[in-house]
Structure 1
Amino acid sequence: MNLRRKIAVTVSAVAMTVGGGILTAPPAAADEPCASNKLCLYRSTLYRTMEFSTGSVSDCWWLDAYNLGGPPWSGIKSYRNNLPVKSTLWYYYGSAGWSSAPVATIGVGGASSNTTGGHVAFADSETVCTGDAKPWDHL
């Protein structure tokens, strides 16, 4: 085999090895699965950094306790609702009380990998409730 052919074969082998390594590299961050019969709320888009998970079908929680409330936290960036009931987000106006209706609803089977371009409620809400629970009855 002449020198040019040996160099060409070597370069080809190196290129295939490097190219194959790039094609099989794992993703930088994998999503965190949400179990069946759970509501899962994530601090990051693409279902990463799960901060809250519940299987309760009638209760409410302060999102600040899970680093998911409005400022200074970054809010809910993605979610999955595998519960058999809806989930609702609520505002609390201090002495003025609670919002009169949910500011957002996550339906049964609802999911979003990125809430940042949508409804502001996912960034600013203070509580999440499951089923027909209301924050003034549970918090």
Structure 2
Amino acid sequence: MAWKKRIASTASVMLLAAGGMMATASPAAADGPCPASRICVYDKDGFTGNRIASASTNSCFFPQDFTFGTIVSYDNNLSVDAKVWHYYANIGAYQLARTLVAGGFSSNIGVPDLGAAYGDLVCMGNARP
């Protein structure tokens, strides 16, 4: 009987230790650079530099409203696509510049000046300029 208690005790300690390691893992390590249910755009490659994060699935934001350069990398953990719209001030119209797909990411988009012009928008879901 004593050996059963020792085995049960040892097994409990090992399970608690393993559970403690999983519970203390940082969210960033588990989910990458952007929190779950958010889209994050970064103004440097490799998910670095200034970051804008949004949890909205049906709205737009102007990247220029923040201390932000151009969209260079992104991580979209939303269930909807986000679209970057370029504003052509000379004709007062928007044109789709890039789609940031739901569940997608890129450490270097490769589109010069994406979202950097005055009036450019990032819209999630069904939102449009």
TM interval, shorter chain, is 0.5 to 0.7
- Kindly indicate whether the alpha-carbon contact (under 8 Å) linking 2:39 and 2:78 is maintained by their aligned counterparts in 1: yes
**Structure 2 residue 75 is matched with structure 1 residue 83:** no
Query: 2-side partners of 1:131 and 1:83: how far apart?
Result: 9
Deviations 1:75-115 (A, max 9, x none): 0111000000000001112252222x421101111101112
* Larger CA Rg, structure 1 vs 2: 1
- Kindly indicate whether the alpha-carbon contact (under 8 Å) linking 1:51 and 1:66 is maintained by their aligned counterparts in 2: no
- Kindly indicate whether the alpha-carbon contact (under 8 Å) linking 1:41 and 1:76 is maintained by their aligned counterparts in 2: yes
Tell me by how many angstroms 1:34 deviates: 0.4
- Kindly indicate whether the alpha-carbon contact (under 8 Å) linking 1:90 and 1:98 is maintained by their aligned counterparts in 2: no
Q: How many residues align?
A: 96
Query: Which residue is equivalent to 2:59?
Result: 59
Instruction: Give the number of the structure whose residues are more often strand, by fraction.
Output: 2
Q: Structure 1: state its 5+ residue gaps.
A: 1-31
Query: Structure 1 length as normaliser, TM-score?
Result: 0.61
* RMSD between aligned residues: 2.0
Query: Structure 2 length as normaliser, TM-score?
Result: 0.66
Query: Which residue is equivalent to 1:17?
Result: none
Superposition misfits of 4+ residues, deviation over 2 angstroms: 118-125
Q: Structure 2: state its 5+ residue gaps.
A: 1-31
Query: Which residue is equivalent to 2:96?
Result: 102
